[in-house]
Amino acid sequence: MDRKAFAVYTLLIGAGMGLLANLMFYGKLIGLSFPLFISISVVVLLASSRLTGQTIRARNLWLLLPMLFFAGAVAVYADELITALNVAATLCLGGLALYYLPLKRAADQENLLNHGAGLVSAATSSLFSPFGEIGDSLAWLRERRSDNPGQRGSLLAVGRGMIIATPVLLVFAALLASADTVFAGYLDQVWNLLELTTPRDVVAQALFAGTFGWLACGVLAFGVGRRGLLADDENTPAETKRKARPMTLGIIEAGIVLGSVDILFALFVIIQFAYFFGGQANVNVNALTYAEYARRGFFELVAVSVLVLGLLLWLDWVTVRHDIKQVSIFRALAVVLVALTGVMLVSASQRMSLYESAYGYTHLRVYTHVFMFWLGVLLAVFLLALFRLREQVFSLGVLLVVIGYLVTLNLMNVEAYIADHNIDRFEAGESLDAAYLYTFSSDAVLEMLRLYEISRDDELVHEAAGQWLVNQLKDLTALRANGTFFSANLSRNYARGLLAAQRNLPEANAYYRPSGSSLEGYFR
């Protein structure tokens, strides 16, 4: 397929994907539509590469696996934050896949700078490539008209035929619908699926479909049809030399920096063992309780760990090591710093655990707690890079750590985890922030049912939990009535079935959120 014919192909596929996106997404709650659309896009891209003879680097196909996982998770969880993160992860991994799939270079051997450049290149090309495809398509049409003068008349005839056929079909469809109620029902389903209610809506859907079609055309043009970048890739040597550094340090300067930080961190760790890790009996600082002592510092310790990682990466880049002795000294100081930072991360994790036990679980605390673990993994990856066990191992490690962090959050079902642990605290006699639980999605419905059952002795919490459950049932029932197949979501479907089977919930007329009463605080 020549370049101009391919341009026509990309425009036609883009138009089809735009119409498909309009059908799946316009006016609908995101759900099963997202993984379906992403999967279809992957199939179209791979099939187009076969059609055009574009080579796909099989080694780079692994990027599609986590991308499809995050896309599928959108149809599993109802939590808006997790959904937003999954969508963002899907698009970013899709951008990397678009960039690397046609290249000879392996994505797992590239550095972070190239990953970032690939994402920027994929995004900008997807936006602007359609301009070139339109130009090539017009040139293709001009060539066909010059080769076959009668073709222009044929194209005009097709257009006139479609214009005439449209009102004729509408008239006959209306008559047939009046004659048969079953046929009318099917027509109504098609009409409702398209949601064409007003002329303004038609324009809005046309813009919506056009936007997605434009981007789909750009994605296809970049992922399959680019030429210059692939030519550059063929000329790229297998091994690139290390880029010149704007400044350098000797082992003495680097040793002073690392050694002084090592000493400071060692003193801090000694204090941690003497006070924090020593147990509750050892905490007697300004009359602080154990939980109050733990409450302070975990965010600061996480920030310190991130800064340490940045410092180590910078020093590893700018420090010139002339012989094996200097290399060994630098590595030893760096390993000590990583080990001490690891202890500080454990301290931060312990502080967070105590804080959560004393004051409850929130999104920020859980997200930060999980981040601490993966930050520790990233520090271990830095050690692999420090000992040069594999080229660009740190870049690959960053990518895998980000994927692992998001996969962990998905597998945890964060809102169910938070609700479950806060309800455990309530069952153990601790206070419960019912207003916070009231903000949760249907991901936490099973836990809220448990709270409703165990809180009968606490009228405020019991009624708040009951109102949350009733409102969830109302909202989920409305979504089912007004939704489509494309809005399907595993969490919402499971929650609706679970709530519909309950017989001991408050009456249906309790769909309200009272104000000016003792329950007002629970419905903020």
Q: Tell me the pLDDT tens digit for each residue of 225-234.
A: 774 444 445 4
Contact 79, 410 (CB under 8 A): no
| Rounded percentage of the chain residues whose pLDDT exceeds 90 | 34
Contact 515, 523 (CB under 8 A): yes
Ramachandran region, residue 237 (left: φ > 0; alpha: ψ -120 to 50; beta: rest): beta
Q: How confident is the model at residue 373 (pLDDT cuts 50, 70, 90)?
A: very high
If we measure between CA atoms, which residue out of 46, 88, 44 comes closest to residue 66?
A: 88
Contact 522, 464 (CB under 8 A): yes
- How far from the centroid of its chain's Cα atoms is residue 382's Cα? 25
Q: How confident is the model at residue 518 (pLDDT cuts 50, 70, 90)?
A: very low
CA neighbours closer than 13 Å in the CB half-sphere of residue 323: 1
Contact 255, 326 (CB under 8 A): no
Q: What is the pLDDT of residue 246?
A: 64
- Dist. CA 329–CA 254, nearest whole Å: 10
Q: What is the pLDDT of residue 224?
A: 85
Contact 509, 51 (CB under 8 A): no
Task: Tell me: pLDDT of 245 over 80.
Answer: no
pTM for this prediction: 0.82
Q: How confident is the model at residue 161 (pLDDT cuts 50, 70, 90)?
A: low
- How far from the centroid of its chain's Cα atoms is residue 485's Cα? 22
Task: Tell me: pLDDT of 40 over 70.
Answer: yes
Q: What is the pLDDT of residue 513?
A: 44
Task: Tell me: pLDDT of 384 over 60.
Answer: yes
Average pLDDT over residues 260-264: 89
- How far from the centroid of its chain's Cα atoms is residue 509's Cα? 38
Contact 357, 369 (CB under 8 A): no
Task: Tell me: pLDDT of 478 over 90.
Answer: no
Mean pLDDT of the chain: 81
Q: What is the pLDDT of residue 18?
A: 92
- Dist. CA 214–CA 270, nearest whole Å: 60
Task: Tell me: pLDDT of 85 over 90.
Answer: yes
Q: Which range (67-71, 459-463, 490-494) has the least confidence?
A: 459-463
Q: How confident is the model at residue 483 (pLDDT cuts 50, 70, 90)?
A: confident
Angstrom CA distances, 372 to 70, 141, 310, stand at 21, 58, 16
Ramachandran region, residue 517 (left: φ > 0; alpha: ψ -120 to 50; beta: rest): beta
411-455 per-position pLDDT tens digit: 999 999 999 999 999 998 888 888 888 889 999 999 999 999 898
If we measure between CA atoms, which residue out of 9, 37, 32 comes closest to residue 21?
A: 37
Q: Which range (9-18, 29-38, 170-179, 513-522) has the least confidence?
A: 513-522
Average pLDDT over residues 486-509: 82
Q: What is the pLDDT of residue 37?
A: 95
Q: What is the pLDDT of residue 390?
A: 76
Q: Say which residue, 74 or 176, is predicted with more confidence.
A: 74
298-350 per-position pLDDT tens digit: 777 888 888 899 999 888 888 888 889 989 999 999 999 999 999 888 888 88
Q: What is the pLDDT of residue 241?
A: 45
Task: Tell me: pLDDT of 211 over 60.
Answer: yes
Would you give the end-to-end CA distance of the chain in angstroms? 61
Range from 63-77, 104-118, 156-170, 472-486 that averages highest in pLDDT: 63-77
Q: Token pair of 337, please?
A: 């710093």
Q: What is the pLDDT of residue 52?
A: 80
86-131 per-position pLDDT tens digit: 999 999 999 999 999 888 889 988 988 899 999 999 999 989 989 8
Place of tokens 């309530």: 426
Contact 250, 319 (CB under 8 A): yes
Q: DSSP per residue over 256-272, as a string?
A: HHHHHHHHHHHHHHHHI
Q: What is the pLDDT of residue 422?
A: 93
Contact 30, 487 (CB under 8 A): yes
Buried b (16+ CB within 10 A) or exposed e, 275-291: ebeeeeeebeeeeeebb
CA neighbours closer than 13 Å in the CB half-sphere of residue 131: 4
